[in-house]
Amino acid sequence: MSLRKRSERRGAVAIVTTLMLALSLAMPTSALALTTNKATARPNEDGGSSVIGGLDTRLTWEGTVEEGEEVTEVTLMLPDDGTFDGATTKITVLDGLKRAKLEGEAVANGSQLTVTFKEPATAGYLLRLEVEGMRFPSEGGDIVVSGSYVNQAGEQTLADSKPIKTIANTPLQALVAQLDEAPWVQAWNSNPFLGMFFKPQLLATAFATLVPGWLLCLLIVVIAYPFAIVLGLVFALMKISKHRLLRFISTLYINVLRGTPLFLQIYIMFFGLPMMNINIDNNVLGVIVIAINASAYLAEIFRAGIQSIPQGQYEAASSLGMNYFQTMFSIILPQTIRRVIPTVTSDFITSYKDTSLLSSVGVMELMMFAKNLTSVSGNMTPYVAAAIFYLVVTLPLIKVVSIVEERIANSERGGGPRPKGKNAAKAAEASNGAKLSGLAVHAQALDDEHAYDSAMGQMTPSYASEV
């Protein structure tokens, strides 16, 4: 009896376990009939990479139909105030990499989107739904796309997608939306020229998004320049040295670097070094290229500056018993520095602008950001914004150059402010200064040693009056 009972009980336990096992096996298969592969959203932040709620974007949902299943309908659901209204849905059904000829129709209803297939999607098919123009809830947060589907057994619950990170609207985006609405902006943009080059919405976005690129440009040139000055000085001294070999090396260095485009030098460094298994961080490499390139130009500037110091200074120094180095470092170079400051500043401006070439090799600088924004928007305004970022630095520097030149011209003339005819003198000086700065920049652009030397040598009152 007791044995029997025990065996009965055992039998019951066995049945229950089998049942449970069967159930647990059945559950996942039914839940997995349509596997949710992923749900992603296209970043809709202007010039950024975030997904902003409450603004149009595109949701891409992918699911695979499992073995032995036939799916006829899929419904996607968003949390409360997300909406599919007004969205267009592209339905793609794939068998491996091939498109399957299976058509469907999508009906949006608030936070629900129902896709009905004309024929059932069978095992192995990948269902891809791209919903363009839908909106996530405006408060942002991690959004899970849930839903249901219909197979031969009826309606089933769809596995939740991995959460999509969304954010609430940014102040910038709000400003852009405000500008979109403003009547003056619409009137402004209706002019093809203004709309293409000075679109207010894009100016606002560009100013905000270009800042990191601008800072990187400044960082690169500010770090590169001290190295360039030291290198340039070394090569300048080598070029005027008595040793033929040193002169040769320096001439070769300067001529090769000045005689080839910076763009080419960038390519050689960025593509060549990694091939030799020398891997340097892109930004550091950018600094190196800019420094080396600028050093060649600076070497010529320094050489011309040193040679513009009259021979009498050397003779005076040697009459005081100074040796070469003493003469150089305490007599000649201090005078040189004063004379080359304007041209070095101009060269600094050039180098700063040259950082833009680094965008072609993937350095995330100003041009790169502007290019991205332009390619996304199909509008030239980001480039105009980039131009303003360059000008913010270069215009004050150009002003500095002209002031310094004026002062130098003034002091070499031996003149300070005159007691009489103050205004007339001032006006004359100002105009001279302006002409001189124009000349220096011109000489720089010409890049002609001769024109350059004359500009250097003539930074004196006599020349100023000739002009």
Partner 1 sequence: MSKSTITRRSFIGAASTSMLGLVLTACGGSSGSTGATATDAAASADYTLITPGKLTCVSDMAFPPMDYMEGDTYTGYEVELMEAIATKMGLEIAWLPPTKFDTIIPLIKQGGKADVGASSFTITDERKEEIDFSDSYLDSNQGVATLKSAGVKSEEDLNVEGKKIGVQSGTTGEMWAKENLTNATIVPLDDPVQAMSGMSTGLYDAVAADLPVMSYLCAQSYTDCEVSIEIPTGEQYGLVVSKDNPGLTAALNEAYAAVVADGTEAELQKKWFGAEL
Q: Contact positions toward partner 1, by CB under 8 A? A: 38, 40-43, 49, 58, 60, 88, 90, 92-94, 96-99, 126, 128, 130, 132-133, 165, 270-271, 274-275, 279, 282, 360-362, 364, 371-372, 374-376, 378
Alpha carbon distances (Å) from 398 to 350, 409, 436, 449: 11, 16, 12, 22
CB of 375 to partner 1, least distance (A): 4
Of 129 and 306, which CB lies nearer to partner 1 in the complex structure?
129
> Which residue matches tokens 């041009």?
367
CB of 169 to partner 1, least distance (A): 19
Identify the DSSP state of 164.
E
Handedness of CA 77, 78, 79, 81 (dihedral sign): negative
CB of 227 to partner 1, least distance (A): 23
CB of 143 to partner 1, least distance (A): 14
Which structure tokens are listed for 68? 């032995």
CB of 90 to partner 1, least distance (A): 6
Of 263 and 271, which CB lies nearer to partner 1 in the complex structure?
271
Of 9 and 42, which CB lies nearer to partner 1 in the complex structure?
42
Of 269 and 409, which CB lies nearer to partner 1 in the complex structure?
269
Alpha carbon distances (Å) from 428 to 11, 104, 108, 140, 410: 115, 81, 75, 63, 11
- Per-residue HEC secondary structure of 44-68 comes to CCCCCCCCECCCEEEEEEEEEECCC
Which structure tokens are listed for 81? 């105030």
CB of 270 to partner 1, least distance (A): 7
Q: Which residues 6+ apart lie within 8 Å of 293 measured at CB?
A: 228, 257, 262, 265, 351, 354
Of 44 and 308, which CB lies nearer to partner 1 in the complex structure?
44
Tell me how far apart the alpha carbons of residues 200 and 382 are, in angstroms, rounded to a whole number: 10
Of 62 and 69, which CB lies nearer to partner 1 in the complex structure?
62
CB of 275 to partner 1, least distance (A): 5
Identify the DSSP state of 124.
T
**CA proximity to 306, closest of 379, 237, 385:** 237
Of 11 and 362, which CB lies nearer to partner 1 in the complex structure?
362
Of 269 and 340, which CB lies nearer to partner 1 in the complex structure?
269
Listing from the earlier edge strand, what are the strands of the sheet with 98-99? Answer: 34-41, 56-65, 125-135, 88-95, 98-99
**Number of Cβ within a 10 Å radius of residue 5:** 9
CB of 49 to partner 1, least distance (A): 6
